[in-house]
Chains A and B, each alone.
Chain A
């Protein structure tokens, strides 16, 4: 074996990969080079469709029937992977290079016990006996910090939670102690607090096993947390690469810069320092411009130069292997302050529009879904929700899966009726009026923007018709001509060209679809809009634009916005008040400043620490929660958070496990649901501190 080899572990040189369809060749990756030294972690960052996953599959030589490497080489420990026979490749895969992907559930064979799936790896590569392999599996499962490893080895994948499954996938990758680990968005499908724990684990194990890593993500914060070096990709090309510090603090490519300016970092604020979105759209692979791919969207674009010829990577003097694909890197003043955007005046907060009092929503479900019968179980999806929302106010509802935020939205919309408590809209009770029985005005007043842009529009109806249908239902206008006119004006409002009215949804990009969704929600002049993670499925550069659009419409129409999200960065950026939910309970409620500063509810504290922040000057306190979020079907006794709370020991008499804490008011408008004494709460330190520059 080449154990004595001490050059770069992986060396990708001018790699080009194309996919071949019936119509044309689609270049997915062009002229991509990278180098990973032993023990090093390289982050690959970019928006969806930029080719980052294709690079990973190219390394694994698993591009499918249509994909071909059309140029360049991939050397692993000095041997070219592209010229290996299938037999040689098989020896490398799993043994030397292992890969982890996004969907843990899909990556595990549903009909095979975990133990066998794990043991298979060393049995193939090292030819050891099954008993020995099982022993190894037990060790590795212990290493990935799963409780009761022996039981887990004997179970099937579907019996584990998402976080546990991802740990198993990681364990499987580590079974033969590979020298390179490729992680393709390994945490995207997980909740924030679980994600934090998995990332922590990957980092630790990488160190322990001395494994190099290729970490693919769209999240700059995650890359900052895990990697030594970073490579930014745009539209099939690497545009900038270098060490984390160089790229984060001294970026030398306009795209990198624009990317950083479009993500909500702790300093950003919707009124004084708004986000700057990248203008234009991501080019389709077969519509890439000549010259610099980023040219058409670049602020520093110089016609006749940037679009003249292909642009090579060039080294930046003085930095450690820091390269950029920009001709004007020396001419641009990288330190120039962000052009002062027009400071927007905040909308005046008006009277209370929505008042929720002691709202409860319980479901009865059969204990055993498939076989039916048996006992009925009560799932408490919402437990005593009380809050108010005012005109022009943005109230963020924060929480992870199973916290009850979607149920609340359903009850508010009238898709479900409340079990008890009241919902007052302009002092009218609507909690028990199902949507069919609501007046057109009530329905038009409360509208919703959905999470998944690919799902929010009916794929077989034109964009214009869908908006017009909403107008029709809200009884706007006398005839189709009037409605069409209004629809076109709505498209103007959401900054879409009027020509889009006659397009089918599949012809629109994700961000554009989301804009249509917003136009549709505001068609009836909605006064309360529930936005359910409206930007979480969008690319970073589009997120900023859609968020800004929402804010702008809100300012003009004095809408009350209920912004549901798990992303605390964006919540901090745009909301006036924040409500944190956990397993159906509101654990903390207060103004944005109050919630983001100590004293926190212990869950808020953990949540704040879990969110990756792409800013090297931010210091974060390190809090990793144990275990997974309990199922709402089977909640813990007492305080819902007690199973994972690190402060539990400070409360005497085992109170946390026995009684649900009362709502405590800490400051005017700031309430938390916790047993901790005032002294303990006061002793909390801020999770995020920004180092002085």
Chain B
């Protein structure tokens, strides 16, 4: 078990390194850097000025070295100008020589130095912490709504395959899987928050939820995310449940005289929930998608909104930070899914 865990974590770290490197490389391609230079110095600068600015700010080192510096495993660059002023990755801008000398050699993600956002003019780590907290609240609400309802829907539908309940519930889940967040969000807002229909039950924007969550401002975003994921999980649960219900051991239980509710609860449920568990965990990259769309749609300044701002405004450091966090969230959920699967499934656990 320990070996298995170590191997999984090893693979996970390798994946994380690969992915962050790809993101680093893509965000640090020369057109992006030129754009940064232009936004710092004004759009009318010459190519030579761009090159010298890039050179001065350490952007001309090979990508792999700069990736190391960003990670914090290579010493940050330092450069002494013609007039003797020392600049460097780890040296705050405008610091004097003394401060420059005292600055740490390494400053990267490992040291907790995530860089500085050019759009928000604040530290990346601060922005991410704030936006993660906001998104965390949203996700928690989503999970609380989505998972129980999806599982109930799936189990009820899969309990008696082909029955009308099954067909009705399956149709519901198919419809929700066919409704991406930007469709359900639009429909929900149009129906429940627009002046055109007139049922102004909820707010069409969740900006106010950042300060205090109310039923009116949080319901629609939560529903929007939960609906799309719910159908998928429900269908997986249903498929798993129908498969289990036709298994020989369920027939054995029935012929032992176990009553139908007991068959479902005692014999089928545990076996039927193994597959959806993995699905729920693997849903996280998707949920992240939903979060980005929903936060944009409802103007909720959480993690997804930050991602869009960072990417849309070529805010390299912030985008890197956001990518690292989202990649890690995904990888950790995958790890949990693997480990949880082993725990849920006695067939694997013991052997």
Contacts and interface: CB of A to CB of B under 8 A. Distances in A.
B256 A172 contact: yes
Contact of A124 (B256, B267, B346, B351): B256
A663 B193 CA distance: 89
Contacts of B4: 370-372
A62 B251 contact: yes
A271 to B, nearest CB: 44
A95 B351 CA distance: 34
B351 A109 contact: no
A159 B7 CA distance: 25
Contacts of B257: 90-95, 121, 124-125
B120 interface: no
A372 B6 CA distance: 11
A587 interface: no
Interface stretch (A99-107, A221-229, A278-286): A99-107
Contact of A107 (B7, B252, B270, B345): B252
A339 interface: no
B249 interface: yes
Given A107-B248, A110-B271, A370 B255 contact: no
Contacts of A109: 249, 252-253, 267, 271
Interface string A78-108: 0000000000001111110011010100111
Contact of A108 (B3, B249, B266): B249
A321 to B, nearest CB: 29
A124 B270 contact: no
A633 to B, nearest CB: 12
A101 B248 contact: yes
A94 B255 contact: yes
Given A93-B257, A110-B347, A120-B258, A371 B252 contact: no
Interface string B240-255: 0000000111011111
Indicate the member of A95, A110, A158 with the most B CB atoms within 10 Å.
Answer: A110
A106 B3 contact: no
A628 B11 CA distance: 40
Contacts of A92: 257
Contacts of B256: 93-94, 98, 120-121, 124, 172
Contacts of A106: 247-249
Contact of B271 (A65, A90, A111): A111
Interface string A335-364: 000000000000000000000000000000
A110 B268 CA distance: 10
A372 B3 CA distance: 8
B195 interface: no
Contacts of A108: 249, 252
A106 to B, nearest CB: 4
A373 interface: yes
Contact of A111 (B254, B258, B259, B270): B270
Interface residues of B, number: 28
A267 interface: no
Contacts of A378: none
B252 to A, nearest CB: 5
A318 interface: no
Contacts of B252: 99, 101, 107-109, 169, 172
A63 to B, nearest CB: 11
A60 B251 CA distance: 11
Nearest to B260: A86
Nearest to B344: A111
Contact of B346 (A110, A373, A374): A110
B43 interface: no
Contacts of A374: 3
Interface in A123-160: 124-125, 156, 158-159
Interface string B318-351: 0000000000000000000000000001111011
B162 interface: yes
Contacts of A90: 257-259
A506 B59 CA distance: 66
A394 to B, nearest CB: 38
Given A101-B248, A107-B249, A112-B267, A62 B255 contact: yes
A156 B347 contact: yes
B258 A156 contact: no
B1 interface: yes
A156 B347 CA distance: 8
Contact of A93 (B247, B255, B348): B255
A159 B351 CA distance: 8
Interface string B161-193: 010000000000000000000000000000000
Contacts of B254: 62, 93
11 contacts: A90-B258, A92-B257, A93-B255, A94-B255, A98-B256, A101-B252, A109-B252, A109-B271, A121-B256, A156-B347, A159-B351
Given A99-B252, A107-B251, 16 more contacts: A62-B254, A90-B257, A91-B257, A93-B257, A94-B255, A98-B256, A107-B252, A108-B249, A109-B252, A109-B253, A111-B274, A121-B256, A124-B258, A156-B346, A158-B350, A371-B3
